[in-house]
Structure 1
Amino acid sequence: MAEPILVGIDIGTTNLKVVAARPGGRVEAVVRRTMSVSHPIPGASEFDLDALDHDLVSALREMVDVIGAKGIEPAAVAGIGVASIGESFVGVDEEGRRITPCPTWYDRRTTNTRSSWGMNASDWFDITGMVDDDIYTVHRLAWWRAQDAGRFERVRKWLMVADYAVFRLSGAFAASPSLAARSGMADRNDGKWSAAILELADIEVGALPDLVPSASIAGTLTTEIARQTGLRVGTPVVNAGHDHPCAGFGCGLVQPGRMMDSVGTSEALKTVAARPFSYGDVGGGRYDCYPHVVSDRFLLSGHIPSSGGMIDWLLRQLSGPAPSAETAALLWQAAEAAVPGSVGVRIAPFLSGTGAPWNDRARRADIAGIDAQTVPGDVLRAGVEALGGWLAINLAQFESITGAKAADLILTGGGATRNPLMNAIKGAMIERDFVLPDVTEAAGLGAGLVAGVAVGLFRDGDDAASLPDIEWQSVRFDPGLAEAYRTVRPAVIAHLEGEALRT
């Protein structure tokens, strides 16, 4: 029998990606569509789900054509897994028609309603595993009810984005634990919707999709979607879950003790836990700890909202009025020539708040220690050192929480992971090696692997995450550079923590 194909759909902030891969991790096709976002009023950001409806079908159709050109029949597709960003939601009526907008996860019209329920932060965390914030769906629903109570009452089901895509493909209303956690309405301890939170928030459990176990088949591809895409009627459809744990799964992150640094516009440090850590375990709810995309595992996660985004911002500011690739290359050369410690220049890289472990959304970036001798290379290097310091702080926290010391870190994400100077500085700051998997679409691959677990292609999540077809590159830290940063690191960390600058 021919080796099967697994399809992962990754619905992200910027792009929709459809990935077709072999069970061992070898990718056969990647199809992309741009996510369309509107801004109807200041502060509002809403996904265009008309565009998503169209693009889901057209991207799957194109994927079928791409694999068909390689001699792979649509019948080889063993399952389709769907992953998405969290927090965003849409309401559908009795006929399954969308009757509300779909605010993006970064839409800023909501406020944190948790304290108004009389629930303390510790109880909130120990149920949901989420850092106390206003971002979650439960708070967004409160805002929506206040804006349009009549339309709110007409909603039959509230769906997060992957839930909605699963419904469009299969007709099933099914949620997954990892994505449901991002709603703020799921109990991570029993894998069910939280009766306590729903009562306090005045949400009926019947208005939510069925919360099924991780890596479960939600439904099968409808006749109409099969006709439009060329896929087989009845192909299993799986709600793979939240895109972050799917991305970890796509890079083999499934065993406790392994840690991963995921770098893009933002950056996240992640590791796997065998149990849900409590509010006290994570230093007073400083880190998310919620279900992984396979059963009986949890993801401990902390992020900084602007990482690669901060570096891109520095490059633009240092490039003058006409940024170019050539100017950026010169700036990186200058940063490499700068001395460790950047001659006392210190940066707090908080363009959009601190992220973990302080979770201070109001704090903003700053640059200190500049004098008449400061050159652009010092400033760019200081930005990279700040991100290395952020990683060092959070890695130490993770190791304290888990009791495990990672021998090396999986490094994944965008082009920043292929930047030799960034990797060298960050590796020296944490005194660890990195390993880079040859995976370009980790969340899409991970979603496909979750579907593979659901349909029985793998014995379990560990088997799926073995990824025998993936090549790994080792990036070893330089002991000499690490020695130089032992002297500098306290001052870098002190600036991140808001203390007086120490040179």
Structure 2
Amino acid sequence: ECRYIEDTVDSQKLFQEVCNPVLEGFTLPKLLWLRNHEPTNYEKLRWLVLPKDYVRFRLTGNLSMEVSDAAGMLMMNIRKQVWSETVLSSLELSSDILPPIVGSAEVVGTVTSEVAKLTGLQEGTPVVGGGADNACGAVGCGVVTPGRGMVSLGTSGVVLAHLEEPRLITAGTVHMFNSCVPNEFYMMGVMLSAGLSLQWLRKQFGSQSKSYDVLTEKAAIVPPGSRGLVFLPYLTGERTPHGDANARGAFVGLSATHGEGELVRAVLEGVGFGLCDSVELLRSAGWNGTSLRILGGGARSPLWKEIIASITGLVLEEVNIDEGPALGAAILAGVGVGVYQSVLEASDSIIRVEHTVEPNQKWHQTYGELHDVYKDLYPALKNSFDRLVGFS
């Protein structure tokens, strides 16, 4: 379905409209799959909405699609914030199945009497559009104005930068979406196995009885560069920068002298290098920030934070509240009902930086050289990855 989209829609028009590469995770290829493989169910389709928009419909009785989530469907003109007739008509799809697009902090309805009886919510409670997970995460850590960025270190890894205008780059697999701030945007790189890589190492090497703190303490006594060991964190393929489902993880440089500490540190560093790939792509698009606000479970590790700061050369900022997307959604509700005048005002009045992690300059030099090695490994192994998938 992705190849069909690329072959059918003019490539320049497609990219100008949706501002994103065509990937399996977006809604449009899934809709085409339904049409191709389950035509009976496809014919039953009346409205196409995303989960939170359906929940909002059930709460209010009003059907709509919120803009930051709509941006991730490959069906919306990102700049104009309207459904893309260019894309839809090329694929013989009708916009009649798509509801109106609404703003993230826009009040789009109120809780109905029926829902009030079922849930205990007060009838007439205003309901706003809300936001996509990373869009709300950006609001929830104050990344709502140009120059600010965030890094999320969970199961996957995200590097996100707020922009006033969309900036398109074809190199790497970078996403451009609408921000929850009206008429502004964010650019995002995604690595699929960030915290998952450390979780995998802990499980597969029989270290589940050890806490993550114990593992990182062993890694902390290993010098930067893990004594010549590099880890490629492509355990589930990779999104940014390679866009390659066949990419696979690897330890390169492994020798009999390497032990648990080196393996753990190599994983921490490999994830850092992967995040740095996204930072470099954001830089190429014009982002000029000097710091990233960090959130996610991996942010609990002082060593991992210092490694990421030292690899990227960026200061990592820890904020006072770590609720992330949930807080962002609450802020949007506050703006929608007039408690705050804007998303920026609300975010900056609630969120403050409490601690910073500076790059270790000695490590930064070492990591600069090692990152070059890391970047050479994927193209060197690409053909082998493709061949090995056939054996899996």
TM-score by length of 2: 0.91
1:219 and 1:464 map into 2 onto residues whose CA distance is 22
Residue 324 of structure 1, aligned match among 187, 209, 214: 209
Find out whether 1:343 has 2:234 as its counterpart: no
The Cα of 1:116 is off from its aligned counterpart by 4.2
1:3-402 paired onto structure 2 within 5 Å: 111-120=2-11, 122-278=12-168, 282-284=169-171, 286-319=173-206, 323-326=208-211, 328-402=212-286
The Cα of 1:268 is off from its aligned counterpart by 0.6
Question: Identity rate of aligned residues, in percent?
Answer: 27
Match of 1:473 in 2: 355
Q: Which runs of 5+ in 2 are unaligned?
A: 383-392
Match of 2:374 in 1: 492
Change (3 A) 1:486 1:130: closer
- The answer as to whether partners of 1:260 and 1:409 remain within 8 angstroms in 2 is yes
1:489 and 1:286 map into 2 onto residues whose CA distance is 19
- The answer as to whether partners of 1:191 and 1:213 remain within 8 angstroms in 2 is no
2:204 and 2:131 map into 1 onto residues whose CA distance is 38
2:365 and 2:94 map into 1 onto residues whose CA distance is 58
The superposition leaves residues 369-409 of structure 1 with CA deviations (integer Å, 9 ceiling, x where unpaired) of: 111211111111111111221222321221221251x2221
2:107 and 2:139 map into 1 onto residues whose CA distance is 18
The superposition leaves residues 265-323 of structure 1 with CA deviations (integer Å, 9 ceiling, x where unpaired) of: 00010001111113xxx134731111111212101001101100011111222336xx2
- SS of the residue 1:378 aligns to: helix
1:347 and 1:484 map into 2 onto residues whose CA distance is 16
2:146 and 2:18 map into 1 onto residues whose CA distance is 20
- The answer as to whether partners of 1:346 and 1:495 remain within 8 angstroms in 2 is no
Residue 407 of structure 1, aligned match among 271, 278, 290: 290
- The answer as to whether partners of 1:216 and 1:239 remain within 8 angstroms in 2 is yes
Change (3 A) 1:432 1:497: farther
- The answer as to whether partners of 1:314 and 1:380 remain within 8 angstroms in 2 is yes
- SS of the residue 2:332 aligns to: helix
Change (3 A) 1:423 1:363: same
1:318 and 1:369 map into 2 onto residues whose CA distance is 18
Match of 1:56 in 2: none
- SS of the residue 1:300 aligns to: strand
Larger displacement relative to structure 2 (441-450 or 244-253): 441-450
Match of 1:13 in 2: none
Residue identity in the other structure for 1:408: S
1:448 and 1:123 map into 2 onto residues whose CA distance is 36
Larger displacement relative to structure 2 (228-237 or 111-120): 111-120
Residue identity in the other structure for 1:240: G
- The answer as to whether partners of 1:130 and 1:181 remain within 8 angstroms in 2 is no
- SS of the residue 2:123 aligns to: coil
2:206 and 2:364 map into 1 onto residues whose CA distance is 29
1:338 and 1:285 map into 2 onto residues whose CA distance is 32
Change (3 A) 1:252 1:497: farther
The Cα of 1:412 is off from its aligned counterpart by 0.9
2:303 and 2:274 map into 1 onto residues whose CA distance is 16
Q: Which runs of 5+ in 1 are unaligned?
A: 1-109
The superposition leaves residues 80-124 of structure 1 with CA deviations (integer Å, 9 ceiling, x where unpaired) of: xxxxxxxxxxxxxxxxxxxxxxxxxxxxxx65431342432x322
1:417 and 1:496 map into 2 onto residues whose CA distance is 27
- SS of the residue 1:426 aligns to: helix
**Runs of 4 or more consecutive aligned structure 1 residues displaced over 6 Å after TM superposition:** none
- The answer as to whether partners of 1:255 and 1:462 remain within 8 angstroms in 2 is yes
- The answer as to whether partners of 1:112 and 1:134 remain within 8 angstroms in 2 is no
Change (3 A) 1:113 1:487: closer
Please give the root-mean-square deviation of Cα atoms over the aligned residues, in Å. 2.1
The Cα of 1:260 is off from its aligned counterpart by 0.8
- SS of the residue 1:260 aligns to: strand
- The answer as to whether partners of 2:213 and 2:301 remain within 8 angstroms in 1 is no
Change (3 A) 1:230 1:113: same
Figure out how many residues of one structure are paired with residues of the other and give that number.
382
Match of 1:455 in 2: 337
- The answer as to whether partners of 1:408 and 1:432 remain within 8 angstroms in 2 is yes
2:209 and 2:245 map into 1 onto residues whose CA distance is 32
Change (3 A) 1:483 1:205: closer
